[in-house]
Amino acid sequence: MQQGNLGIEPEVLKAIYGQMARIRAVDKAVQAGLSSGKFMFTYWPMTGQECIPATISQLTTSRDYMITTYRGIHDQVAKGVDLYGMFAEALGREDGVNKGKGGSPHISDPSSGSMVTTAIVGAGAPIANGLAIAAKERGEDRVTIVNFGDGATSIGAVHEAMNLAGAWKLPVIFMCQNNTWGEYTRIPTYTASPNFFGRAEALGFKGVQLDGNDPAAFYKGMKEVIDYVREGKGPVFVEAMTYRLGPHAGVGDNYNATKDELAAGKERAPYEKTRALLLEAGISSEDELTALEAAAKAEVDDAIARALESKVTPATETLVDVFADVDSVPKRSHYPVREAEGEFSGPTETMTMAQAIQSAQKAAMTQNPEVFLLGEDVGDPHGGAFGTNKGLEEEFGDRRVRATPIAEQAIIGAAVGSSIAGMNPIAEIMFSDFMGVCLDQIANHAAKQRYMSGSATHAPMTIRMQLGGGMGGFGAQHSQSLEAWLTHTPGIKVAFPSNPVDAKGLLLSAINDPDPVVILESIMLLFTQKDQVPIGDYRIPLGVAKVKREGTDVTLITYGWQVGQCLAAAEELAKEGINAEVIDLRSLVPIDYHRILQSVKKTGRAVVVHAAVEFCGMGAEICSTINEELWDKLKGPAVRLGAEYAPIAYSKIIETNQVPHAASIAARVRAVVK
């Protein structure tokens, strides 16, 4: 074959093969090391898929963003992740690219543009949208490529992400590396779709199918795709046809394939075909290719040898990188004293909690152009289901107040991605009950990104959730208090205001916090209270509780709309000579154990009250800590009062009986004080 008939510049083809050689050297070294017992870590081989990232590497730079999956070691190598740092990471060493905290399936390396590696199938697609939003809003010509296998096309997150990207014309490429296997399952077994790229057309944007084993054809097709996306014409779905020669996990050949299938796959494998093409076309000599391959092997061997000599990440790192500040991490017997807010000055205005939330967002968006709001129906004229965003779209425009599809995974994923890129998104989830729809993005991505990346990346995002409960008429799927889901997930901060002043101050602190924060807003309180709220910017620090009523006989510890119920109960108890102190926690993570324990030392008794189900709730945690720390100072054990263990009833009579209220709180206190 003549060089002119290749359909690709010879030097480009040589460069693609050079990356393929590096990828193949990594693959061989890992499989040899695992087989011999030289080292041990989980490995998902990508043997046979080398051409896809190797070719893309010639069309993109480190400025372009990439997301990949646990099977993405070939993507990482071609993107430019340092091999020593990559192997040290896989081995759990402190010199790893993420300090050994993420391991091979969770690499983040912003210096190369490798932003997120997710071990959750399909979960990277919504996050890619967020990276693309950041690039587009900043006027950058970056493209974001999110890699996933054909199996991920069955995941709802991918569909939600594609729909959002199409609607907003985001500069993102959905790169489906179709290796014909969804883990251990063949494509015809799990879908009737004749192809995957056609799904893009159904969602209103471009889809193409390319031969991912032919570097010349793939280069030509990908150049057109990348140029199209870089020019701002919207997303593209690429179905790159290839074949996985190895098993889903481990080493060796794909033992699920028949002998004929495997033989055909090896015949089409891009590494060997490209090598032969370089020789046949006279682009490279055998000696040149042998030297290139030897250099790749030497690079890999050196990286592995040094990684094996590097220090194992020590146990002293356990709590580092959970949050930006290690003192925010709850830890037994470590109760930091955080400074409370000072006296507020300046003009005030009478506001409901809904208006205070709107005021906080307006202040943050005015101060920082990288703060934006997204969620269902958040735009004007409604300003969200509860009007907490009214007027913001009119003032800041529809690119900073983004009304989204009804797609919670897409909403939270976009917030995660844009925050990793350095923006400060505020994502609104209409009811906390809907958290279950997007819990993966919250718990496995927003919460864990700082830790898994060793603080190479983090997610300074805010999630606002409204909660029903206490009013009747919302029923079991719109009335739950699910804060325990969040507080049991390391890496998420949680605040729950009880009044308009705190709602604005806590929200402003959350928006400006370096970590993901969830603000829980009680629907019951949005319009029923009015306070004099400072007009300007002020902060209620996270992790600082407040004494709402001083007392001497018992401490009531609570948060959210139960603060009002506890205050009412305290007034009733005062008529009986029982003087109750009421503490509003305000934030649950970080939690202010210092002020809790100081109060209980004084009163000798404690009752923790919350609207959430009592079983396994915050009350159990707080009571356990009080009883452990103050057992010799208590007049009786700390106790809790929460909702009965049942879904919240539609009937207001049943709900009122289920959830703590002033009368039931007073009764619980009487039993404790006796």
Angstrom distances, CA of residue 520 to CA of 481, 618, 648: 9, 15, 18
Q: What pLDDT sits at residue 390?
A: 96
Q: Is 592 helix (H, G, I), strand (E, B) or coil?
A: coil
State both tokens at 279: 């020789």
**pLDDT for residue 469:** 83
**Tokens 């870089």 label which residue?**
230
Exposure string over 444-467, b if 16+ CB within 10 A, otherwise e: bbbbbbbbbbbbbbbbbbbbbbbb
| Separation between Cα atoms, residue 325 and residue 99, nearest integer Å | 17
| Bridge partner residues of 643 (DSSP) | 613
CA distance 220 to 212: 11
Q: Do domains 3-7+46-80+105-288 and 546-673 have the same CATH topology?
A: yes
| 3-class SS of residue 277 | helix
Confidence of residue 3 (pLDDT cuts 50, 70, 90): low
HSE at residue 323, side-chain half, CA atoms within 13 A, is: 21
* Mean pLDDT on 495-516: 98
Which residues make beta-bridge pairs with 65?
144
Q: Residues 561, 611: contact at Cβ < 8 Å?
A: yes
| Residue 512, pLDDT score | 98
What are residue 210's phi and psi, to 5 degrees?
-125, 155
Strand residue runs (E) in 430-527: 462-467, 493-495, 517-522
Q: How many CB atoms lie within 10 A of CB 306?
A: 15
Report, as residue numbers or ranges, the catalytic residues: 478
pLDDT tens-digit readout, 569-621:
999 999 999 999 999 999 999 999 999 999 999 999 999 999 999 999 999 99
Alpha helices in 330-475 (DSSP H): 353-367, 392-396, 408-420, 439, 449-452
Amino acid occupying residue 661: H
CB 82 within 8 A of CB 131: no
Q: What's the pLDDT tens digit per position in 354-402? A: 999 999 999 999 999 999 999 999 999 999 999 999 999 999 999 999 9
Neighbours of 316 (CB within 10 A): 7
For residues 506 and 427, give the distance between their C-alpha atoms in angstroms, rounded to a whole number. Answer: 15
Q: Do 543 and 338 meet the contact criterion of CB atoms below 8 Å apart?
A: yes
Res. 1: pLDDT tops 60: no
Instruction: Tell me the average pLDDT across 473-480.
Output: 87
For residue 292, what pLDDT is reported? 97
Of 170-184, 271-285, 382-396, 471-485, which gets the smallest average pLDDT? 471-485
Q: Report yes or no: 566 and 428 within 8 Å, Cβ to Cβ.
A: no
Chain mean position to CA 586: 24
Distances 470 to 5, 501, 659 between C-alpha atoms, Å? 74, 22, 7
pLDDT, tens digit, for every residue of 609-659? Answer: 999 999 999 999 999 999 999 999 999 999 999 999 999 899 888 888 899
pLDDT of residue 134: 98
Mean pLDDT over residues 513-525, rounded? 97
Superfamily of domain 3-7+46-80+105-288: Thiamin diphosphate (ThDP)-binding fold, Pyr/PP domains (3.40.50.970)
- Name the pLDDT band for 4 (thresholds 50, 70, 90): low
Pull the structure tokens for residue 583. 């503490």
Q: Compute the mean pLDDT over every residue in the chain, rounded to the nearest whole number.
A: 96
Question: What is the percent of the chain where pLDDT is above 70?
Answer: 99
Of the pLDDT bands very low, low, confident and very high (cuts 50, 70, 90), residue 476 is confident
Beta-carbon count within 10 A of 358 CB: 22
Name the nearest CA neighbour of 203 among 420, 419, 442, 410: 410
Indicate the residue type of 351: M
Cβ neighbours, 10 Å, residue 4: 8
Question: Residue 514: is the preceding peptide bond cis (ω within 30°)?
Answer: no
pLDDT in tens, 417-469: 999 999 999 999 999 999 999 999 999 999 999 999 999 999 999 999 999 88
CA–CA separation, 515 and 462 (whole Å): 8
Closest CA to 493 of 481, 505, 511: 511
pLDDT value at 322 more than 60: yes
Is the pLDDT confidence value at 345 over 90? no
Q: Which of 611, 384, 363 is nearest to 507 (CA)?
A: 363
Closest C-alpha among 272, 262, 314 to residue 51: 272
Which 3 state secondary structure label does DSSP give 517? strand
Which residues are 299's β-sheet partners? none
Distance of alpha carbon 576 from its chain centroid, rounded? 50
Residue 528 has pLDDT above 60, yes or no: yes
Q: Where are the beta strands (DSSP E) in 440-529?
A: 462-467, 493-495, 517-522
Which architecture does CATH list for 546-673? 3-Layer(aba) Sandwich (3.40)
Task: Give how far Cα 283 sits from Cα of 17, 25, 76, 288, Å.
Answer: 12, 22, 27, 10
DSSP-assigned letter for residue 488: T
pTM assigned to the model: 0.96
Among the four given CATH numbers 3.40.50.150, 3.30.420.40, 1.20.58.100, 3.40.50.970, the one describing domain 348-534: 3.40.50.970
Domain ranges of the chain: 3-7+46-80+105-288, 348-534, 546-673
Report the number of secondary-structure helices (H) and strands (E) in the chain: 25, 22
420 token code pair: 């990793």
Token duo for residue 6: 């290749």
The whole-angstrom separation of Cα 641 and Cα 670 is 13
Residues 160-216 have pLDDT tens digits of: 999 999 999 999 999 999 999 999 998 999 999 999 999 999 999 999 999 999 999
Rounded to the nearest 10 degrees, the angle between the axes of helix 408-420 and helix 156-168 is 70
User: Helix, strand, coil % (nearest 5) of the chain?
Assistant: 45, 15, 40
Q: Retrieve residue 356's tokens.
A: 């205070």
How long, in residues, is the chain?
674
pLDDT > 90? residue 470: no
Are 601 and 630 in contact by the 8 Å Cβ rule? The answer is yes
Task: Report how far residue 86's alpha carbon sits from residue 269's, in angstroms, rounded to the nearest whole number.
Answer: 25
| pLDDT for the residue numbered 2 | 60
How far is Cα 212 from Cα 601, in angstroms, rounded to an integer?
68
> What are the tokens at 652?
């207001």
523/611 Cα distance (integer angstroms): 13
Of 500 and 652, the structure prediction assigns the larger pLDDT to 500
122: pLDDT strictly greater than 70: yes
Interhelix angle for 408-420 vs 124-137, to 10°? Answer: 50
Residue 614 and residue 612: Cα distance in Å, rounded? 6
Q: Containing H/E element for 371?
A: strand 371-375
